[in-house]
Chain A
Amino acid sequence: MTVTAAPVPGPRTRARRGAGSGRPAWSFVTFLVALVVASPVIAVVVDGVLNGREATMPRGLGGMVVTTLLLMTGVGLGTLVVGGGLAWLVTAYRFPGRDVLVWLLVLPLAMPAYILGFVFLSTFDAAGPVQSLLRDVLGDAVAFSVRSLPGAIVVMSLSLFPYVYLMARAALVEQSPTTYDAARSLGAGRRRAFWRVVVPLARPSLAAGLAIVMMEVLTDFATVQYFGVKTVSVGVYLVWKGSYDFHAATQISALVLVFAVAVLAGERLMRGRARFTQRGGRGAGLPAERLTGAHGWAATLACLLALAAGFVVPVIRLVGWAVAEARADPEAFVDERFGEYLANSLAVAAIAATGCVLLSLVMSHAVRIGGGRVVGSAASVTTFGYAVPGAVVGIGVLLVFAWADRALEALGVPNGTGLLVTGSVLGILYAYLVRFLAPAYQAVDASFAKIAPSMTLSAMSLGAGPLGVLSRVHLPLVRPGVAVALVLVTIDAIKELPIVLLLRPFGFTTVAVWVYQLAAENFWQKAALPALVIVAAATVPVYVLFRQIRATDRRDARER
């Protein structure tokens, strides 16, 4: 693909600064976004420090820190191997079912953690059908508990690998084949070219995917609770709900933030100082080699196995329950307000996804056209929200609005903001922005990292303004990253629970809340149907976007 940036006609002849000196307006917007997004988190921490009694740190906090580290390491390795490996498999090879599997492999993301934990335990624990079957075959001695740290690592790796998979795939698709071809023509075998060329080039994206996985592990409460794994997040929960001490809980949340900072620092470190950009614009991806016979089917099997564990088995279990429920009570099977719940979920998710992606584009662009380290740091700050448990973000939003309220009243505005937050979905959208800007920014920024600075510079020196560079140079080049960002935020937003639960106005129910109302009271069979609806709702954006990507990839290939 060749990029042509035609000179902009008209009177735009003011002197251009170099790309390094920054564009005040764009930098300012980035700072503003960082401030808005960071303030609920800051509010919670400040509130905790101001009002906290002597912090009652939970006993065994050291152990929780170690457990958290072990879990993060385990899940990090697991998702890297599964997600990265599968991304390479579907990109570099063609095999039976590959075209469908490419997008099916994202689906484990659609399974909410609060439902997956239960489904897994009820399926694989001692009293579950799998071990019962084993007992029938092997005798009564078979009875073991899967409720353990390794169990949690396996389950979380299987449900979170799509983050790495998506990022890695976007990176591989964007890679221009020239580097790989050069390596091969210089005598490197496929394997050597993979480890020495492809992987280093994909490193920023792998790092971004891993960072999201780590933050997801940090904030997860549902899965770790099911598997009896005491992470720092469980500490937050125990202090808040067991000791009724919210302020002490926020102080432990601050500890979770320290982990998040470490994760992001690790990500920068993993990206390294090297900047791998490529000439020739966005690549058309690697030439896919056809796998035939047993190799082909082995590849298919590998994808299917990953998919089965993280998606198909839980879905089958849920379908079984839903059918049993429908038989038992056909009348009460579907909630009459079902359509409304679904519409609410989709609307909020669509707005959140659009907002997050637009802001990510603006920020990545602002960092790119100059602004240096300070603007870059401001953009990084916006990703911390992802490492804060949803309920804590929700309370941060409440606090920010409460303060805004008081400030407005002090300025003489009667009633301040009124009940703007909890009286409408505004609070939910704000909290979504705080939480989900991270995956969007990581995805978009990883794509930006592959654009050669010379490209930006040439466009600008040819007379394109910042907006022109964004819409006509950067946007077309980072399209895969944008697609990934849209998918990630949409899915995350559809299944998000604590924020909606906490900030929703009267009468506002999403599908996730519907699941929770039933699951919280252990009506697992009844919760099966709405859980399947979430999965189905998340399938649509995944499918549409992958079709989109494939269609444009093919067209690009033709044009070339």
Chain B
Amino acid sequence: MPRSPRVRRPALLLASTLALSATVSGCGFLGIGGDEPGDIQVYSARHYDLEDAFVEFEEETGLKVDFIFGDDAELLERLKSEGDESPADMFVTVDAGNLWNAEEQGVLQPVDSQVLKDSIPAEYRDPGNEWFGLALRARTIAYNPDNVDPADFDTEDTYAGLTDPKWKGRLCMRDSTEAYTQSLVASLIDLHGRERTKEIVQGWLDNDVDIMSNDIELLEAVDAGTCDVAIVNHYYYARELDEKPDLNVKLFWASQDGAGTHVNISGAGITESSDAPKKAQRLLEWLASDGQKAFVGGNHEYPVNPDVAPDDVIAGFGDFTPMPVDAKAYGSLNPEATELLAEVGYE
């Protein structure tokens, strides 16, 4: 029996695919050849236009930055298992709890820098100087102005005020697997204690809150009027507004007569295993000062550096008082927050 052509043809296809791929990617995918490695290597759980910021940094300083974007928890495990051999010099992540956890796990090293101390208010950086907040996001109220009079919101504790029966059947919120929800609840536990927070979450559920799986969906539901009130990150609102100027949604700054609106930070630290800590420090300092606009701009976030003005879109939302960020509390209370959500049956 001669070798039949039917075996050969797929083999040929396969071989040509491989050859083509190898040519196009310059064999880079095999880990041989490819580009020269950069001066600073970054693991980042944040992507928003970070590439542009790094290009800007390279133009200013001549230092080339390589970065991998991935999931917070997974990149942290990668860092840990790579240990001393990790190529990463910097770890960028998107939640105060994650920053605190990275420090707890011992993957970061302290940085003594006057520039960082001058640029970042003390509440947004680690007292031990292992991590530094770089951008702020607020989680507040979005409402449909046709159906809601903003005077109806409880200005002292807006999040707890949503447990009032007048909001029954009118609320939309994010699911319990989302870090935003967990961190908001953790901050409420920090503020009110576990029992009171449990009552609040139970109150949302009693009001038949409609739970959704992303913030854009929440905003679209408010816009469509299938929900009257939602809790969202301010920058998703800014982005939707960019795309649809006639969006029928307004923002309300929560708890302005009380503890302030819930905010969280994105930030970075230099890894314990870094073989270029000085260069990485230079990048970190740049991100906290000259690079602030490049770091936050693409995503409509608030700069942590008080000398840098927020972009025009979010400046139009007006000033607000943020709830103080306690990374240690957010981090250490996060497990309790997830447990509490499960306990009352918030999915």
Some 5 contacts from A to B, beta carbons below 8 A apart, are: A121-B217, A122-B220, A228-B211, A395-B81, A398-B81
Is A521 located at the chain interface by the 8 A CB criterion?
yes
A346 to B17, Cβ gap below 8 A?
yes
Q: Which of A208-216, A235-243, A306-314, A438-446 forms part of the interface with chain B?
A: A235-243
Q: Which residue of B lies closest to A224 (CB)?
A: B177
Contact of B1 among A346, A423, A472, A544 (CB under 8 A): A472
Contact of B177 among A225, A350, A486, A502 (CB under 8 A): A225
- Which residues does chain A contribute within 8 Å of B34, judged by CB atoms? 507
- Which residues does chain B contribute within 8 Å of A132, judged by CB atoms? 224
B343 to A544, Cβ gap below 8 A?
no
B175 to A225, Cβ gap below 8 A?
yes
Is A20 located at the chain interface by the 8 A CB criterion?
no
User: A524 CA to B87 CA in the complex, in Å?
Assistant: 32
Is B212 located at the chain interface by the 8 A CB criterion?
yes
B31 to A242, Cβ gap below 8 A?
no
Is B83 located at the chain interface by the 8 A CB criterion?
yes
Q: Which residue of B lies closest to A551 (CB)?
A: B6
Is A73 located at the chain interface by the 8 A CB criterion?
no
Is A199 located at the chain interface by the 8 A CB criterion?
no
User: A145 CA to B81 CA in the complex, in Å?
Assistant: 42
User: A56 CA to B47 CA in the complex, in Å?
Assistant: 32
Contact of B83 among A117, A234, A402, A472 (CB under 8 A): A402
Measured CB to CB, the closest approach of chain A to B223, in angstroms, equals 7
A498 to B74, Cβ gap below 8 A?
yes
Measured CB to CB, the closest approach of chain A to B233, in angstroms, equals 10
A423 to B31, Cβ gap below 8 A?
yes
Q: Provide the A502-528 mask, 1 if CB < 8 A to any CB of B, else 0.
A: 111111100001000100111010000
Measured CB to CB, the closest approach of chain A to B8, in angstroms, equals 11
B10 to A394, Cβ gap below 8 A?
no
- Which residues does chain B contribute within 8 Å of A359, judged by CB atoms? none
- Which residues does chain A contribute within 8 Å of B130, judged by CB atoms? none
- Which residues does chain A contribute within 8 Å of B337, judged by CB atoms? 242
Is B71 located at the chain interface by the 8 A CB criterion?
yes
Measured CB to CB, the closest approach of chain A to B83, in angstroms, equals 7
Interface size class for chain B? 35 or more
- Which residues does chain A contribute within 8 Å of B77, judged by CB atoms? 246, 395, 398, 502
Contact of B37 among A4, A227, A506 (CB under 8 A): A506
Q: Which residue of B lies closest to A353 (CB)?
A: B14
Measured CB to CB, the closest approach of chain A to B117, in angstroms, equals 28
Is B58 located at the chain interface by the 8 A CB criterion?
no
A242 to B22, Cβ gap below 8 A?
no
B31 to A426, Cβ gap below 8 A?
yes
B17 to A505, Cβ gap below 8 A?
no
User: A507 CA to B36 CA in the complex, in Å?
Assistant: 10
Given A242-B182, A502-B74, A521-B47: A424 and B31 interface contact (C-beta under 8 Å): yes
B81 to A245, Cβ gap below 8 A?
no
B10 to A350, Cβ gap below 8 A?
no
- Which residues does chain A contribute within 8 Å of B9, judged by CB atoms? 548
Given A125-B217, A226-B213, A507-B66: A350 and B14 interface contact (C-beta under 8 Å): yes
Q: Which residue of A lies closest to B42 (CB)?
A: A506
Given A228-B213, A242-B177, A347-B21: A508 and B28 interface contact (C-beta under 8 Å): yes
A347 to B29, Cβ gap below 8 A?
yes
A545 to B66, Cβ gap below 8 A?
no
User: A395 CA to B74 CA in the complex, in Å?
Assistant: 8
Measured CB to CB, the closest approach of chain A to B268, in angstroms, equals 17
Is A399 located at the chain interface by the 8 A CB criterion?
yes
Apart from A118-B213, A237-B177, A503-B78, 20 more pairs, CB < 8 Å: A56-B335, A58-B342, A127-B220, A132-B224, A228-B213, A238-B342, A241-B179, A340-B25, A343-B20, A346-B21, A347-B29, A348-B29, A353-B14, A402-B82, A418-B85, A419-B85, A424-B32, A498-B71, A521-B48, A521-B299
Is A69 located at the chain interface by the 8 A CB criterion?
no
Q: Provide the A383-425 mask, 1 if CB < 8 A to any CB of B, else 0.
A: 0000000010011001100100100000000010011001111
Contact of B213 among A147, A347, A524 (CB under 8 A): A147
- Which residues does chain B contribute within 8 Å of A426, judged by CB atoms? 31
A419 to B72, Cβ gap below 8 A?
no
Given A244-B101, A419-B87: A228 and B347 interface contact (C-beta under 8 Å): yes
- Which residues does chain A contribute within 8 Å of B72, judged by CB atoms? 241
User: A249 CA to B75 CA in the complex, in Å?
Assistant: 16
User: A234 CA to B178 CA in the complex, in Å?
Assistant: 11
Interface centre among B213, B227, B299 (most CB of A within 10 A): B213
B101 to A126, Cβ gap below 8 A?
no
Is A479 located at the chain interface by the 8 A CB criterion?
yes
Is A59 located at the chain interface by the 8 A CB criterion?
yes
A545 to B10, Cβ gap below 8 A?
yes
- Which residues does chain B contribute within 8 Å of A243, judged by CB atoms? 334-335, 338-339
Given A126-B221, A506-B66: A544 and B13 interface contact (C-beta under 8 Å): yes
Q: Provide the B60-72 mask, 1 if CB < 8 A to any CB of A, else 0.
A: 0000001111111
B177 to A126, Cβ gap below 8 A?
no
User: A479 CA to B68 CA in the complex, in Å?
Assistant: 40
User: A506 CA to B32 CA in the complex, in Å?
Assistant: 12
- Which residues does chain A contribute within 8 Å of B210, judged by CB atoms? 126, 145
Is A377 located at the chain interface by the 8 A CB criterion?
no
A522 to B215, Cβ gap below 8 A?
yes
B223 to A127, Cβ gap below 8 A?
yes
A424 to B30, Cβ gap below 8 A?
yes
Interface residues in A511-556 by Cβ distance below 8 A to B read 513, 517, 520-522, 524, 544-545, 548, 551-552
Q: Which residue of B lies closest to A230 (CB)?
A: B347
Contact of B216 among A423, A506, A522 (CB under 8 A): A522
Measured CB to CB, the closest approach of chain A to B59, in angstroms, equals 18
Measured CB to CB, the closest approach of chain B to A22, in angstroms, equals 27
- Which residues does chain A contribute within 8 Å of B68, judged by CB atoms? 504, 506
Measured CB to CB, the closest approach of chain A to B19, in angstroms, equals 10
Is A461 located at the chain interface by the 8 A CB criterion?
no
Given A339-B24, A340-B24: A425 and B29 interface contact (C-beta under 8 Å): yes
Is B226 located at the chain interface by the 8 A CB criterion?
yes
Q: Which 3 A-B pairs have the closest CB atoms?
A: A424-B31, A347-B21, A242-B338
Measured CB to CB, the closest approach of chain A to B247, in angstroms, equals 13
User: A501 CA to B66 CA in the complex, in Å?
Assistant: 15
Is A301 located at the chain interface by the 8 A CB criterion?
no
Is B214 located at the chain interface by the 8 A CB criterion?
yes
Given A244-B331, A521-B48: A422 and B18 interface contact (C-beta under 8 Å): no
B29 to A344, Cβ gap below 8 A?
yes
Is B140 located at the chain interface by the 8 A CB criterion?
no
User: A226 CA to B31 CA in the complex, in Å?
Assistant: 36
Contact of A501 among B1, B37, B71 (CB under 8 A): B71
Given A127-B224, A517-B47: A425 and B30 interface contact (C-beta under 8 Å): yes
A147 to B182, Cβ gap below 8 A?
no
B221 to A127, Cβ gap below 8 A?
yes
User: A143 CA to B243 CA in the complex, in Å?
Assistant: 25
Contact of A479 among B6, B22, B78, B338 (CB under 8 A): B6
Is A380 located at the chain interface by the 8 A CB criterion?
no
User: A502 CA to B343 CA in the complex, in Å?
Assistant: 32
User: A548 CA to B4 CA in the complex, in Å?
Assistant: 12
Interface residues in A240-256 by Cβ distance below 8 A to B read 240-246
Q: Which residue of B lies closest to A58 (CB)?
A: B342
- Which residues does chain B contribute within 8 Å of A524, judged by CB atoms? 216
- Which residues does chain A contribute within 8 Å of B182, judged by CB atoms? 242
User: A511 CA to B18 CA in the complex, in Å?
Assistant: 16
